[in-house]
Structure 1
Amino acid sequence: MTHSPNLSLYVTPPGSKATSRDEQIVRELLQAIVDRRLRPGTRLPEDSLGEAFKVSRTTIRKALQKLAQQRLVSMEHNRGARVAQPGRKEAADVFKARRLIEVALIPAVYENRHSDAYKELHDLVAQEKAAHREGKFQEEVQLSARFHVQLAVATGNLILGEQVAQLTSLSSLIISLYGTSSSVGCDCGEHTELLKLIESNQVAEAQTWMDHHLDAIYQTINTTQDSGDDVDFKSMFSA
């Protein structure tokens, strides 16, 4: 039986439950970042967040450290934590790495096209289309990330799935902060087109599609936005 890799925060399926208070806080902060309520560069003071969530600074620090491990938050000594602010160089590096890996894995996906892991790709495409029709941009970003991770899982190599999960978590952050609706539905076509190419044994064409797909997404990224202002965490997170 094939098991999914331990996916990062940005590809965690919707509805999954947090197992601890600090993990619940991680999820809420993450959602605020994805929803653009917390802008890149926004300060995340432990005392203000502790008051908002009604927990100790120690619990807040644990949550921020988990987000920092995912590179979603930056933490500096004597300067505190801020929402990560990826620059153009980091964004470029992330998408270059994805192009190198995800183009190369297409032949292995073709070889495993009859697996259960591959069949899950069609379900994700259907969910992605529904999110697009309903104008749910952030959900579409997450589903797009999950599609790419599942594509790697469909190779049968779960280590590869872990690597792609890490890269898609970073690119999803970049898209959520700096992208537009075209960052998901780029001109090179939908994920349905990729699956059709794979299933018709057009492996080289599928590789070209993937390369153009990832490059087209990167070209929509605008990393010149201003840093976030100080915010009222109590009004944002209090029940």
Structure 2
Amino acid sequence: MHDTNITISAPIGRDLQGQTRAPGHLVYEALYTAILDRRLAPSTRLSKETLGRIFSVSTGTVQRALSRLAEEGAVELAPNQVASIARPCERHARELLEARLMIESQAIRLIGNRLTRGQLDDLRAMVERQRQCLAAGDHAGLIDQANRFHLRLAEHSGNPWLPDFLAKLLRRAALSIALSRSRAYSEAACDEHQAVVEALAAGDAERASQLMGRHLNNLFARLRFTPPPTEDLRAAFQGKLDSVQRRRA
């Protein structure tokens, strides 16, 4: 297990713009960002008492933040046990992938060929900011910029429901990507985003949709999943005892 390691970037009770925020939301956001920034690794134990002292809040407030993260698959909560950062889950990541494929591919088809030059330039600038984050080693910033790109495309679809649905998926997908500890967003991912933009610029929404599907599948393929620890003692030794006995003979 790892130790809790969290840095608070803004005073408790206020966000970076000085606006009042609920303590539970601040704890949630701080933990969420620490996971994205890879300051909290999978299996890190999250003591409510320790977190309460770090953030100067009650353990009940911490519990609410942990419960919210558990709902998103980022934290493991078991009765009478200390919470911990979740291990990457392939099933959870694949379910997110399938949902994103349905929403994002359709969103791009709805865009068609009606993007203005200014909108296309804005998308290109978003890809450039991703490359800058990649060069700076800003992992959390890179995921944030990539998510903004995907969300902006959904906004251009003209269907106001799609961005709302996608925003929730993107937050969960960001956690899944961060927990995998892999370089899912790489130079290749930036190139894939660029290719989608240029297909839209050419007025070929169908090709852009196909490129988005390929990008999302490639993103999933770059994730790394480690098997969960074995808790079944019988399964741990299944088929192994015969070889041990032969060596002792």
TM (norm. structure 1) is 0.77
Q: Which residue of 1 aligns with 2:204?
A: 202
CA distance in 1, matches of 2:136, 2:76: 33
Instruction: Tell me which amino acid in the other structure corresponds to 2:170.
Output: T
217-226 or 156-165, which moves further after superposition?
Answer: 217-226
Unaligned runs of 5+ in 1: 1-13, 228-239
Q: Any idea what the Cα deviations from partners look like across 1:143-172, whole Å, max 9, x if unmatched?
A: 111211121111122211111112211221
Tell me if structure 1 keeps the 8 A contact 2:88–2:179: no
| Alignment pair present for 1:183 and 2:196 | no
* TM-fit CA distance, 1:75: 2.9
134-143 or 64-73, which moves further after superposition?
Answer: 64-73
Q: Which residue of 2 aligns with 1:8?
A: none
| Alignment pair present for 1:139 and 2:141 | yes
* TM-fit CA distance, 1:133: 2.7
Query: What's the % identity of the aligned pairs?
Result: 26
Instruction: Tell me which amino acid in the other structure corresponds to 2:21.
Output: T
Asked which structure has the greater CA Rg, the reply is: 2
Compared with structure 1, are the counterparts of its residues 78 and 188 closer, same or farther at alpha carbon in structure 2 (3 Å cutoff)? same
SS in 2 for 1:82: strand
Compared with structure 1, are the counterparts of its residues 170 and 190 closer, same or farther at alpha carbon in structure 2 (3 Å cutoff)? same
Q: Which residue of 2 aligns with 1:78?
A: 80
Unaligned runs of 5+ in 2: 1-14, 230-249
74-83 or 189-198, which moves further after superposition?
Answer: 74-83
CA distance in 1, matches of 2:175, 2:108: 24
Instruction: Tell me which amino acid in the other structure corresponds to 2:187.
Output: G
Q: Which residue of 2 aligns with 1:233?
A: none
Compared with structure 1, are the counterparts of its residues 147 and 141 closer, same or farther at alpha carbon in structure 2 (3 Å cutoff)? same
CA distance in 2, matches of 1:129, 1:15: 25
Q: Which residue of 1 aligns with 2:123?
A: 121
Q: Any idea what the Cα deviations from partners look like across 1:52-102, whole Å, max 9, x if unmatched?
A: 222211221232233234332233333353323341111111112211221
* TM-fit CA distance, 1:119: 6.2
* TM-fit CA distance, 1:215: 0.7
110-119 or 158-167, which moves further after superposition?
Answer: 110-119
Q: Which residue of 2 aligns with 1:52?
A: 54
Compared with structure 1, are the counterparts of its residues 226 and 192 closer, same or farther at alpha carbon in structure 2 (3 Å cutoff)? same
Tell me if structure 1 keeps the 8 A contact 2:74–2:176: no
Q: Which residue of 2 aligns with 1:99?
A: 101
* TM-fit CA distance, 1:116: 7.7
Tell me if structure 2 keeps the 8 A contact 1:184–1:217: no
**Runs of 4 or more above 6 Å deviation:** 115-119
| Alignment pair present for 1:31 and 2:33 | yes
Compared with structure 1, are the counterparts of its residues 77 and 119 closer, same or farther at alpha carbon in structure 2 (3 Å cutoff)? farther
Q: Which residue of 1 aligns with 2:246?
A: none
177-186 or 128-137, which moves further after superposition?
Answer: 177-186
Count matched residues.
214
Tell me if structure 1 keeps the 8 A contact 2:151–2:163: yes
SS in 1 for 2:45: coil
User: For the aligned residues, what is the CA RMSD?
Assistant: 2.8
Structure with the bigger RCO (C-alpha within 8 Å, sep 6+) is 1
